Amino acid sequence: MRIAPSDSSYKTFCDILTGYRLAAVITQTVKSGIIDLVGQDGCSEADIIEATGIKAEEGARFLDLLARNGILERYDNCLYLSQFSRKYLFRGSDSNQLGVLEFEQILAGTWNGLDTILHKGQGALAADKSAQEYADRLNLFQSAMHEAAIIRSKELWDAFPPVADTGVIIDIGAGDGTYLTEFTARHPRWQAIACDLAEVVEQIKNRAITTHACNLLDPEELDGFIARYKGSASIVVASNIIHCYSKQEITAILEQIKEIVHQDGLLVIHDFFIDGNSFGALYDLHMMVNTYNGRAYSFDETMQMLANAGFIHTDVMELPSYSHAVIASRKRRTMQKPDLIFQLRHKALALGFFEAAVIDPASIAVEPWVKAKCTYGCMFYGKKWSCPPHSLTGDEFKELLGCYSKAVVVAGQPPLPDFQRRLLELEAAAFLTGCKKAMVFTGGPCTWCDSCPENQCRFPEKRRPSLESCGCDVFALAESCGIPVQPIKSSADFVQYVGLLLIE
């Protein structure tokens, strides 16, 4: 999660500080067998307490907590699995994350050494393991990665552009082949090739997948792999790979990998990126704590490494659960519409807006009372060329919204002139990427001059109407995007502005 600039609530502080408690509760619920006992059909509280051997009073309090927090649901005298638990915690679910849960307990322990890492450097906590310890850790890691990949592979291929009926897909760092299994289930006529360490690919059981053992850091093994599949791949996938290596190592690997990508093929780098969202930044620290030299990279760093390796064009897909896919090709391709939306959101954040949310313009509330409050109560009424009566009427604004299929709501901080300047930069960026109808609406009165002349605006090229002046309920708009907005009660309260980019 990301703490919003406007958020100074003690509730948020408590939620963050005590988050580990709920994780401990979920872990204990699975460990004690409660999830399996409740199962598909539900179970009484008394039967759960008896079967698990927990004490009656303490057990009743624990089960009450599970019901209050949505891990279990209570109906009449029985407890049932919630949809969340049924999907992620129940052993019988195809999407269960029990391996992830177990592996996370190991990782949680290393986070206690964050102080050591910050003072002694990355890798300071790493220690050599025995062959058995390495094997056990690898098995648990592979189990966790498999479970996460079941979810993330569906997200990736759901968002992926349409592909031909036949082709060759190669997964670099394929793990147990989950991404290839999901892809070939959708495209059975494709040839699938999995590349990973020998001890990893030997675990792949899907006979439709061809395996190739290769250590990407071993020049001889990598050369052999490249020579065998040179120019053959329509799609090369590198999922959760680049965060494991240094920039120099990745650049060297990408230069080699380019050779197996067909001239018309695609390279897909699926990972967590440090500027993708707050989870990406946290993942970067996770790699710092738990690996020798792993890290999350920014989109710009990744695209620069791709450019250095000879890839010409890159697009980005934003996936539902925090990850992104950077798609690279050896020649320029037509940018997909969803990628354009992502680029504009990313541009907005890079400009300094702390929120950028995509919405349907048809959902924007336009209310007569908003315009009335501009007319009766605002000192700028009739004095600014961006304010009523010079701005759009509510009906005109509604008609204009009907000309657009997408909108980006942005939130920013004072000073207002900087906020309005950044909005114009965002509009220009949208226009230059092909959105000829791009137009922004600002928050607050126009700031391009101290006072407007009576006859005409001095800066018509910069003048944009405020949302309020057009009858937009800005409070409702912000709340629909998850942006908390409160009336300013004192000079100490946080001030924020909300703007809108309309695009087609």
Radius of gyration from C-alpha coordinates of the chain = 27
- For residue 212, the model assigns a pLDDT of 95
Give 239's strand partners: 270
- For residue 299, the model assigns a pLDDT of 93
- Rounded distance between C-alpha atoms, residue 320 and residue 279, angstroms: 12
- The whole-number mean pLDDT for each consecutive block of 10 residues of the chain, a chain of 504 residues, reads 83 92 96 95 95 95 96 93 96 94 90 92 79 76 90 95 94 94 96 94 90 93 94 96 91 93 95 92 93 91 92 86 92 61 85 90 93 85 83 92 94 92 94 91 87 84 90 92 83 86 93
**Taking a C-beta distance cutoff of 8 angstroms, is the pair 43, 37 a contact?**
yes
- Rounded distance between C-alpha atoms, residue 375 and residue 394, angstroms: 13
3-state secondary structure 136-190: HHHHHHHHHHHHHHHHHHHHHHHHCCCCCCCCEEEEECCCCCHHHHHHHHHCCCC
- For residue 55, the model assigns a pLDDT of 95
- Rounded distance between C-alpha atoms, residue 144 and residue 355, angstroms: 32
Phi, psi dihedrals of residue 199, rounded to the nearest 5°: -70, -15
- For residue 441, the model assigns a pLDDT of 95
In the block, which residue shows the tokens 């001030």? 495
- For residue 49, the model assigns a pLDDT of 96
Give the DSSP H or E segment for 469.
Answer: none
Tell which residue, 172, 29, 174, 20, has the closest CA to residue 107: 20
Tell which residue, 322, 302, 297, 323, has the closest CA to residue 314: 302
The backbone region for 39, taken as left when phi is positive above 0, alpha when psi lies in -120 to 50, beta otherwise, is left
- For residue 475, the model assigns a pLDDT of 92
- Rounded distance between C-alpha atoms, residue 100 and residue 351, angstroms: 36
The per-residue DSSP string of 270-326 comes to: EE-BTTT-HHHHHHHHHHHHHSSS--PBPHHHHHHHHHHHT--EEEEEE-TTS-EEE
What's the start-to-end Cα distance of the chain, in Å?
30
- For residue 128, the model assigns a pLDDT of 66
Give the DSSP H or E segment for 436.
Answer: none
Coil, helix or strand for 492? coil
Q: List, in order of start, the domains of the chain with CATH numbers.
A: 10-95 (1.10.10.10), 131-334 (3.40.50.150), 344-503 (no CATH)
- For residue 333, the model assigns a pLDDT of 65
Tell which residue, 292, 308, 299, 175, has the closest CA to residue 248: 308
- For residue 334, the model assigns a pLDDT of 57
- pTM of the predicted model as reported, rounded to 2 decimal places: 0.81
- Rounded distance between C-alpha atoms, residue 144 and residue 139, angstroms: 9
Tell which residue, 279, 310, 281, has the closest CA to residue 298: 281
Give the DSSP H or E segment for 243.
Answer: none
- For residue 337, the model assigns a pLDDT of 47
